[in-house]
Structure 1
Amino acid sequence: MQFFFGLEHEVAFLNKEGKFADFSCTKFTDFNQIVEKLPIYPDDYLQLRVGDAGIRMKRWYIEGFERFANSDKVIDCVSKGIEIRTTIHSNIQNAIDELSDSFRLLCEIATKFNYSPVLTSFNPYKTVFEPQPPLNDYELKQLQAYPDEQTANIYMVTYGPDLNISVADLPIETVIDIGKKLTYYSPYIVPFSYSSPFYNGSLWDGLSVRTFIRTGKRPAALVFVQTQEQLINSTPSLTKIARLPAEVGRIEFKACDSCDDFSMYAALLALLKGLILDQTLLGRATTPDADLHQLSAKEGFDNENIFANATKVMQAVETALKDDPDYHLLTPLKNILAKRKTKSHELIEVFESVGSIEDTLRQTYQVSKYHQQ
């Protein structure tokens, strides 16, 4: 099987006042001055979608909520952070290397404008996004046409990766079946990545407020298909029409929290690869089990059912990858499973010792690893 890999990673920032830089205090132009200084790679457009508003011209773009005049004219983009996306690679390590390089470049430029990257998967202060001014008729009509867009109030306060994986020449029915498999096993996979223990300005009672609020209303996995007939009717969507030829057959795993150590993304991509190769795990679901994700979000691997199933997934993946060069990439996940401790446990511990969310977030991304302080 010939696999292909790509990543999308959302970066949140603290501003020069040391405040969390979200839509309440950051304008499009504040983030855009950073993006403008980053390079363009002319060949990327064959693989990376530019979109109508022209906001996505580069590997970096401003993630946010586009506002329209009462027509198809974009007049603003309410901003939540900067997303990095990689081009498509035929091995995992190359995708991780490109993400690391792009992140390093982003840090260098952001620092010049007094923005510093921090890890979070849910806005630590804002619990919802309410568009101001309220949506006009054109915008409301747009949202009604796309059911997943109606959850903008969720995605504007969440930060998370898309782990993109595809296999050459698979029939679309097989790809959709893989999407259902990843959706079914999602509650047992996502705790490896948990990094959102803050909510509404304080500690949340659990490990991933992002998973608790998001998964069920938004997809765990999304499969890009070529034609209308191949779409499966579900809410949230499991399938979506590809917008570029390079997207056909791509599976985006969307349910993980963000990671500040990119070797975790390598490990998670290797896990997804192993799940695709595995023939023993038979669970399938068209939409994510919201209750199970909420249990997982609260308790993680401390929950015996979640832990037992995660162990079962890991064993199946290890067997499927036993002779594969990517087998060694699973190590960080095996360590987490052995200790039953996630990034959220670490963040909670730091918060309990320093007493401030910002000071806790400042200790993420092992800053020295990516750029000089």
Structure 2
Amino acid sequence: MFCFGIEHEVAFLNKEGKFADFLSTKFSEFNQIVERLPIYPNDYPQLRVGDAGIKQKRWYIEGFERFADSDKVIDCLPKGIEIRTTIHSNIQGAISELSESFCLLREVAASFGFSPVLLSFNPYNHFFEPQLPLNDYEIRQLQAYPDEQTANIYMVTYGPDLNISVVDLSIERMIDIGKKLTYYSPYIVPFSYSSPFYHGSLWDGLSVRTFIRTGKRSATLVFVEKEEQLIKSVPSLTKIARIPSEVGRIEFKACDSCDDFSIYAALLALLKGLVLDETLLGRATIPDAGLHQLSAKEGFDNKDIFTTATKILQAAEVALSKDPDVKLLTPLKVMLANRKTKSHELIEAFRRVGSIEEVLRQTYQV
């Protein structure tokens, strides 16, 4: 039996119509939105609250936490608000909950002058550096977790975690699937591309996020139960589960954000098909940065990316066979046939209107 979940990061324009990030927005401004949103007691212990206590709800502020010279959180520099779903036994359940949570977030955010917009890379600030130097405690924390040393990347990127797990799957098989998804990541991610802006203008490609991020940060993360099950790698392929419900979870982390949640449904169906598939033999512990950069620049216009993406999609379709979820793959087939991504739409809109903010206002038209 499969289980599914989604974590989706949302960026915003503020009431002045400007992009709201860590330079222009305080924690309290996003927190007033989160405070107004409901809490569902039955969500726990499925959802992790975390040490800082920021993750109390299905919505929480995503950012860079600052600590006193101890484990006490004294501030959080925000980049946006993340929505996370509970665990579902079917893809549509996760998508429906995500849609409901997004609608609630948009409604409450509007009352404070914020409007959600689709992007996967900060269109103005390409680098994050804390204003105040890190103290000794913070430095020790970052050194203990290699992936946390790339805060300069994750604070300017936005994207989903597409979570999938299979009941009673062995650790060995789970890690093997993680390696498989890592290997095929450069061919999967173009279906999601939505970050063509950089430094206030168009970038020469389709996904700045993929170009800068993948290779330095994980494409796939597999949650294991015990220390001895970890595989040492930078970026990490494996991580110790922080709560029991995380054990056995495979997080695919390489995609750009999507404002059409049916693409998330399609991508989860693709991942499900790849779990079931036994014909694709590629495996990798760490993402191929060069191949991701080629993919980020050219997408499906690159012959190798297009051919292998087609092969992957066909393998997933065959593996799903008579499973109803096979129908969810349709948007990916259309995208592949047209060799067009969301980034192509955003680029065309920018050339038409000449304003990043104006283009962003046209996203999330649901």
Tell me the TM-score normalised to structure 1 length. Answer: 0.98
Structure 1 residue ranges without an equivalent (≥5): none
Q: Which amino acid aligns with 1:277?
A: L
Match of 1:288 in 2: 287
Tell me what 2:149 maps to: 150
For the pair 1:208 / 2:212, whether they are aligned, the reply is: no
In the aligned structure 1, how far is the partner of 2:110 from the partner of 2:9? 17
- Post-superposition CA distance 1:152-179 (Å, at most 9, x none): 0000000000000000001100000000
Aligned partners of 1:356, 1:45: CA distance in 2, in Å? 43
- Partner Cα separation in structure 1 for residue 78 and residue 2 of structure 2: 34
Q: Secondary structure at the match of 1:64?
A: strand
Task: Look up the match of 1:52.
Answer: 51
What 5-or-longer segments of structure 2 have no aligned partner? none
| 2:344 matches 1:353 | no
Counterpart code for 1:313:
I
**Which residue does the alignment assign to 2:168?**
169
- Residue 195 of structure 2 corresponds to 196
Name the CA distance, whole Å, in 2 between partners of 1:24 and 1:44. 33
- Structure 1: distance between partners of 2:70 and 2:46: 29
In structure 1, C-alpha distance between the alignment counterparts of 2:313 and 2:44, rounded to whole Å: 36
Please name the residue that 1:11 is paired with: 10
**Inter-partner Cα distance in structure 1 for 2:24 and 2:225:** 40
Match of 2:101 in 1: 102
Most deviating of 127-136 and 335-344: 127-136
The DSSP-based 3-state class of the residue aligned with 1:10 is strand
1: CA distance between counterparts of 2:279 and 2:344?
32
SS at match of 2:44: helix
Partner of 1:116: 115
State the AA in 2 paired with 1:87.
T
Please state how far the C-alpha of 1:322 moved relative to its aligned partner: 1.7
Q: Which amino acid aligns with 2:345?
A: E
How far did residue 45 of structure 1 move? 2.0
Residue of structure 2 equivalent to 1:309: 308
Which amino acid in the other structure matches residue 335 of structure 1?
V
Q: Distance in 1 between matches of 2:158 and 2:130?
A: 18
* Deviations, residues 179-227 of structure 1 (Å, cap 9, x unaligned): 0000000000000000000011110000000000000000000000000
Residue deviations 1:230-266, cap 9 Å, x none?
0000000000000111100000000000000000000
Q: Note the alpha carbon deviations across 1:318-355, whole angstroms, 9 max, x for none.
A: 11112101010000000000000000000000000000
Kindly indicate whether residue 25 of structure 2 is the aligned counterpart of residue 23 of structure 1.
no
1:24 CA displacement: 0.4
Correspondence 1:277 to 2:271: no
Deviation at 1:311, TM superposition (A): 0.5
What is the 5 A alignment of 1:75-90? 75-90=74-89
Q: Distance in 2 between matches of 1:177 and 1:187?
A: 17
Supply the distance in 2 between the matched residues of 1:291 and 1:52 (Cα, whole angstroms): 36
Aligned-pair RMSD on alpha carbons?
0.4
User: 1:236: which partner in 2?
Assistant: 235
Please give the alpha-carbon distance, in whole angstroms, between the structure 2 residues aligned to 1:69 and 1:247. Answer: 29
SS in 2 for 1:364: coil
Task: Give the AA of the match of 2:175.
Answer: I
Match status 1:329 vs 2:323:
no
**AA aligned opposite 2:154:** Y
Kindly provide the CA deviation profile for residues 248-292 of structure 1, in whole angstroms up to 9, marking residues without a partner as x.
000000000000000000000000000000000000000000000
- 1:146 and 1:194 mapped to 2: Cα distance? 28
2:310 aligns to what SS in structure 1?
Answer: helix
1:68 paired residue number: 67
- Separation in 2 of the partners of 1:136 and 1:247? 31
Within 1, Cα distance between the matches of 2:143 and 2:244?
27
Q: Distance in 2 between matches of 1:246 and 1:137?
A: 33
CA distance in structure 2 between the aligned counterparts of 1:70 and 1:204, rounded to whole angstroms: 40
Q: Distance in 1 between matches of 2:70 and 2:94?
A: 38
Q: Cα offset for 1:138? A: 1.1
* Number of matched pairs: 366
Tell me which amino acid in the other structure corresponds to 1:264. Answer: I
Q: Could you state the TM-score of these two structures normalised by the residue count of structure 2?
A: 1.00
